[in-house]
Structure 1
Amino acid sequence: MKKVLVLLLVLLVATSVVFAQGSKEAGAKKQLMGVVTPSADHGFTAESIRHSEAQVKALSAQYGFDYRFMTAAESSEQSNAVETILGMKPDVLVLWPVNGDELRSVAQSVMDSKVPLIVYDRFIPGLAPDAEISGDNVAIGEGAGRYFNEYFKEDLAKGKVNYLEFKGDSSTVPMERTNGFLSTASPNFNLVQSFVTNWSQQTAMEQMESFLNTKSKAEIESIKAIWTHDDEIVFGIVEALKNYHGNAKINIRLINGVSGGEGFMNLFENSGLAGVDFMTYTFSPSMVRDAIDLGLKVLQGEKLEKNYKVPTEMIDKTNYKTYMQGKLYTVRYSL
């Protein structure tokens, strides 16, 4: 009888231990990934938000972690979003700043809290997060400079070639693209005027219209190239040029973009501008998925590199049809 009681007692204790362990596991807190992005202020960010949210949702379902996804239009709102997620004690935070300078303080608080921080696209000057990832903006500028050199080879041999520049905003992205361009473009390229569009097609159109309506006939006719930082900027410029009915002759021969989206592909055959060629560099909204993937690596205990660059590819009338059949383009439009 004693042996039976002892055996029952051992079994009861063992069952209690197993039950307690099972309850502990059942109530265990899931890992949490925080993601903060700008809101959809133009097409690129809108596409990027769809891709980032789709990726974090898919990975969460596959690997069993929780996530909190927040967007904000202004830096102050982004700071509040980061602080909200930080209060939830995340295991990693992926941040795409509206403006890096203005997010430095709250980003530093993330690092002070020992939460791994991944910064995407627009970097934060003076901050060294666990990882930075972006498209290769310097390579885009450098490549564009070389393309312009070859395209205007004969003109450059004779003297100056006047061009206009249409930047995105004041973040690190346009700075890298412009510096890259200036590092390879011939010194015979002469910048007549530079505009800041805030990535807006409408703003770019108005700026181009203003140039066409206020400058002299000689100034307008002197422009042979337009160097821009985004496909959408190009769309605004194209509309302004198509709507121009002044007495100056348009001598623009090359306009470049950055993104490689569907709308730009239509320009190669249907721009409505005779004698104007187009070129763009890939900068797909879907590459934000790579930033989310880095967050997953952190949750899985992998050590990250400090810097990641997503390669870029030049697209012009010679290769755009092949590009549209490739993986990068099809993934971009898979949602």
Structure 2
Amino acid sequence: MKKVLVGLAIMLVATSFVFAAGTGEQGKSTKKQLMGVVTPSADHGFTAESIRHCEAQVKALAAANGFDYRFMTAAESGEQSNAVETILGMKPTVMVLWPVTGDELRSAAQSVMEAKVPLIVYDRFIEGLTPTAEISGDNVAIGEGAGRYFNDFFKADLAKGTVNYLEFKGDSSTVPMERTNGFLSTADKNFTLDQSFVTNWSQQTAMEQMENFLNTKSVAEIESIKAIWTHDDEIVFGIVEALKNYHGSAKINIRLINGVSAGMGFMDLFENSGLKGIDFMTYTFSPSMVRDAVDLGYKVMKGETLEKNYKVPTEMIDKTNFKAYMQSDMYKTRYSL
């Protein structure tokens, strides 16, 4: 019995040593700072690229500056909420959150703020919540710029009457809302929306939606469409495939299709789309922007005070400047991994 008690005493001393190992002189904690990062899973090309850039930046900063991090991805809002709660239990110094859907992450985000942990929200915002800082591409500017571009491109047509167009949105988050509102604020009132689709950022879904439109609408309605306003390059790829596969009796009168992202695949459309008479335009929205969100998290760790809102500038890319853009630092950084 004495041997057992002695053994227990040794175990207790060892346990006490393990818990005390995190303290230094005068009981001061030597525990490293911890950055928590939660992102969506790689459900399409943009998020896959973003995740690579995000994790690379966290690793580089952690290695260079001696802090710890926990990086988690999740496909659904419920899984993201669980990831946030898991990291919150680790007592992070700061949290960087890229929500799948902002509204569904409100409770988890609120719990971070109630725990007095600085919160950086990236890309898809949470309406009604004011975190430490928000950062995203300038979605409103993208929409506004696209509206002005459409006005110039169809100037002669608009002078004669209406120009019918289709819209292909990403999802129901704040990102498409900002882009659509921006577009409507600058686009000529003679642009008439024929139909709007929600693609969930899927190339395959966009292709199926476009195919359904071409196969079910009247010849007159199909031929009336002159422009397609989309929220992402990958959506455009699906639309292009549907148009290339169309062999119906209607004449395709579409003359302009825009994207958002300005990725490598879109650059090929300017000279090799396989579609005659259709021009393309996109706006820069690089997956590498997420590095800026991580950088903001590190600034918080250093005790810096952040602004409430950050917008990453965007640039229009079309056939007149895409080759110069492909030589830019922005483009090279995007494909540096």
The interval holding the TM-score normalised by the smaller chain is over 0.9
In structure 2, what is the Cα distance between the partners aligned to 1:299 and 1:306?
16
**Equivalent residue number for residue 127 of structure 2:** 125
How far apart are residue 50 of structure 1 and its match?
A: 0.2
**Equivalent residue number for residue 192 of structure 2:** 190
Match of 2:37, SS? strand
In structure 2, what is the Cα distance between the partners aligned to 1:22 and 1:326?
51
Q: Which of these residues, 49, 52, 56, is aligned with residue 54 of structure 1? A: 56
Q: Which structure has the larger Rg over C-alpha atoms?
A: 1
In structure 1, what is the Cα distance between the partners aligned to 2:137 and 2:33?
28
In structure 2, what is the Cα distance between the partners aligned to 1:190 and 1:106?
40
What letter is aligned with 2:112?
A: V
In structure 1, what is the Cα distance between the partners aligned to 2:278 and 2:245?
15
Matches within 5 A, 1:2-81: 28-81=30-83
4+ residue runs over 3 A deviation: 20-25
Runs of 5+ unmatched residues, structure 2: 1-22
How far apart are residue 28 of structure 1 and its match?
A: 1.0
Q: Which of these residues, 220, 223, 234, is aligned with residue 222 of structure 2? A: 220
Tell me if 1:305 matches 2:307: yes
Q: Which of these residues, 263, 266, 269, is aligned with residue 267 of structure 1? A: 269
**Equivalent residue number for residue 16 of structure 1:** none
**Equivalent residue number for residue 202 of structure 1:** 204
1:158-210: per-residue Cα shift (whole Å, max 9, x none)? 00000000000000000000000000000000000000000000000000000
How far apart are residue 22 of structure 1 and its match?
A: 6.4
In structure 1, what is the Cα distance between the partners aligned to 2:273 and 2:91?
51
**Equivalent residue number for residue 82 of structure 1:** 84
In structure 1, what is the Cα distance between the partners aligned to 2:204 and 2:44?
10
Q: How many residues align?
A: 315
Match of 1:304, SS? coil
In structure 2, what is the Cα distance between the partners aligned to 1:329 and 1:221?
36
Match of 1:169, SS? coil
Match of 2:86, SS? helix
In structure 2, what is the Cα distance between the partners aligned to 1:22 and 1:247?
83
Give the TM-score, by structure 1 length.
0.93
Tell me if 1:107 matches 2:109: yes
Runs of 5+ unmatched residues, structure 1: 1-19
Tell me if 1:173 matches 2:180: no
What letter is aligned with 1:108?
A: Q
Whether the 8 Å contact between 2:24 and 2:30 is mirrored in structure 1 is no
- When the two chains are superposed, the root-mean-square deviation of aligned CA atoms in Å is 1.1
How far apart are residue 264 of structure 1 and its match?
A: 0.1
Tell me if 1:293 matches 2:295: yes
